[in-house]
Amino acid sequence: MTGHGGAQPGRNRDGTGGIPDGLLIGLLVFLLGLTLLAWTATGLAGLLTHGAWPQGVTLAETPLAIRRLVEAPHDLPAAWPATPAGELSGYGLFWGLFIGELMVLVVLTVFVMGVVARWRGVRSWQRAQRLEQLEQRQQEELQRQPDQGTRQEYAYEAPVPDPATKPAPASRTAPQEPTLVATEHLTEPQHPYPHPANPVHAAADTADALATVPPPTVPSPRARLVVYGPAATRRPTVVQAIREADGPALVVTSDPSVWAETKDVRAKLGPVLVYDPGHLCDTPARLHWAPTVGCELPDRAAARAAALLAPVRPQADIDAATADTAETLLQCWLHAAAVDGRPFRQVHRWALGGSAHEPVRLLRTHPKAASGLAGLLESALTAHPERREMAQELTVRAFGALSSVHIRDACTPNRADALALESFVDEGGTLYVVGEPIESPRSGPGAMPLLTALTSDVVEHGRRMAARSPAGRLDPPMTLVLDDVAAVAPLPRLPELLATGQAHGLPTIALLRSPEQGRARWTQPLQTPSAP
C-alpha cells in the first residue's frame, strides 16, 4: 500500500497556490473577442464610409489600437497611425458598429446557453428514466430469486428449549445473548450488560454441546461472528470488542460516539487514525486518502474499482455486463492517473466525459503503464455505445459526493497521511472509518464508495502482510470490527473475509441491522464456521 502523498515539484497538480485554469481561459477568450470586435468594427466602418477596407487595419495591430482608444476614444486616426486618416470613418460610426456587434454576440451567447441547458435537461430526464427502469428490473430480479437460508437464521430468534436442559422459568424471560456461533441475533437488552442466559438452540443435536460452555456477555473479538440487532444493542458489543483487541484494529462504524469512547484506550497501544470525510467526528486530525494510491499495479486498480462501485453496482444478472464495463473503465482510469501522478479529481473528470481519449493515450505512451489496458479501455469506449453510456452514469453516480468540499479534501492526501496509513498496522494502531449510514446507496451513495474502497484496501494490505510472514498470518492479529457495515462500507469480499480471515490473523466481527439487510447487499450468505 504505497502512497503518493507528497507534492511533485514543478507540476502543481493539486490546484493550490495558482490562478484557476477556467479563469485564465475566460480572460484569454475575452481579450481575443475584444480584439476581433475592434478590428471588424474599424474595417466595416471604413468600408461603409469610403467603400474599401482601410489600409493598415490588421488584426496584429488591433491590440495597440485598443490601448490608444482607451486613452483617446474620439481620436480614431491616433489609434491607427499607419492608416491614412482619409480612409477611416468617424468615431461615431465606429463605436456604433462596435456596440452593435457586442449586442449581437450577447444575444447569440444567451441563445446558445439556452439550447445547451434544454439539451442537458432532456438528457438528464432520459438518464433518470433509464435509471428508474434499471431499478425496476433489479427489484423484479430480486423478487424472483428464492429466499434461501431464512429458516436457518431465524431459528435463533425463536429458540426451542431442549427438554434435557430444562431451563428455569426466569431464563425464559431473560434476553437472549449472543453466542459463539456463525450467525447471531441480538434483542434489545434491559441494561447494557445483561446477565448470561442458558444457551438454547433449535437443533437438538447441538444443544448438549453448547450447554456445557456458558456464553460470554459480548462476543470475543477473536471469534468470527455475524451479529444482528438494532444500533443501541450493537453498541456495547462494538465498544468492548475494540477495547479487548490486543493488536491493531480496523473499526467501521456509523456512530461517532464509538470513536469518542474508545480512542483514548486505543491511543495507549498505538497511533489512532480517523477517516471521516463527512466530518461526523469532532476532531481536526482527519486522515486524507486518494483512491488512486497503489493503482500502479493493474490488479490493485481492478480491486479498487470494484470496491468503489460496490455501493452502486446493480445485482440483477441482466445488468452484469454494464457493471463489468463500468469496472473496466474505472480500473483503466485509476491506473492511468496513478502512473502519471494525476490527482483523483482527474479520474472524476474522465468519468464525466471530459478528454475521453486522454487516458487511452497515457496508457499507450507512458513507460510505467501496464500493457493491454490501453486496448481494453479503447474497446470499452468504442463498443456498445449505450452500454458505455450507462457504465459512465454508474461511475458518475459513485463519485457524486465529490461535489462536497469536505469529500474532495479527504481525497487529497499528503506524505504524512500516506506514511501513517502504511505503518499503523506495524505500530499496533487503530483506524476508524466513520461514515453516515445509507440504506439505499444505488441512487445516492454519498461517501460510501470512498469508505468501502479504503476499508477494502486496508484489509487487502493485511492479507499481503500475512502472506509475507513466515507463519502465514498476522501476529498480533488485526481485529476487524465492522459495525453497520452494510450501510457504511459494504465490502465486496466480506463473505470470504468472514470465512478465511481468522486463518490469516484477521478476526472479524460484522454487525448488521437484520439478515434482510445482509441478503440485500451480498449474494453470498454471511456465515462463518463455529468458534472452536
Note the pLDDT of residue 20.
76
Nearest of 453, 319, 321, 326 to residue 393 by alpha carbon: 326
Note the pLDDT of residue 182.
42
Alpha carbon distance 417, 289 (integer Å): 7
Note the pLDDT of residue 439.
87
DSSP-derived letter for residue 7 is P
Cβ atoms 217, 177 nearer than 8 A: yes
> Quick count: other Cβ atoms within 10 Å of Cβ 206?
14
> Grid coordinates in use for 390?
450507462
Secondary structure string (H, E, C) spanning 186-197:
CCCCCCCCCCCC
> Grid coordinates in use for 442?
444505488
Nearest of 1, 6, 129, 46 to residue 413 by alpha carbon: 6
Note the pLDDT of residue 126.
79
> Grid coordinates in use for 216?
460470554
> Grid coordinates in use for 484?
453497520
Note the pLDDT of residue 318.
86
CA atoms in the 13 A half-sphere facing the CB of 430: 26
- The domain defined by 178-289+413-532 carries CATH number 3.40.1350: no
Cβ atoms 218, 178 nearer than 8 A: yes
For the chain, report the end-to-end CA distance as a whole number of angstroms: 33
pLDDT digit string (tens) for 249-304?
999 999 999 999 999 999 999 999 999 999 999 888 899 999 999 999 999 999 99
Nearest of 149, 487, 476, 519 to residue 311 by alpha carbon: 487
Alpha carbon distance 309, 327 (integer Å): 7
342-381 as b/e: b if 16+ CB within 10 A? bbbbbbbebbeeeebebbbebbeeeeebbeebbebbbebb
Note the pLDDT of residue 10.
41
Domain ranges across the chain: 22-137, 178-289+413-532, 290-403
Angle in degrees, 0-180, between the axes of helices 373-382 and 320-339, rounded to the nearest 10: 130
11 Cβ contact partners less than 8 Å away, ≥ 6 residues apart? 341
Note the pLDDT of residue 301.
94
CA atoms in the 13 A half-sphere facing the CB of 367: 0
Alpha carbon distance 373, 27 (integer Å): 38
Nearest of 378, 366, 381 to residue 335 by alpha carbon: 366
Backbone angles phi, psi at 484, to 5 degrees: 55, 40
Note the pLDDT of residue 138.
65
483 forms beta bridges with 511
Nearest of 332, 326, 289 to residue 309 by alpha carbon: 326
What stretches in the chain show pLDDT beneath 70? Answer: 1-18, 135, 138-139, 141-224, 527-532
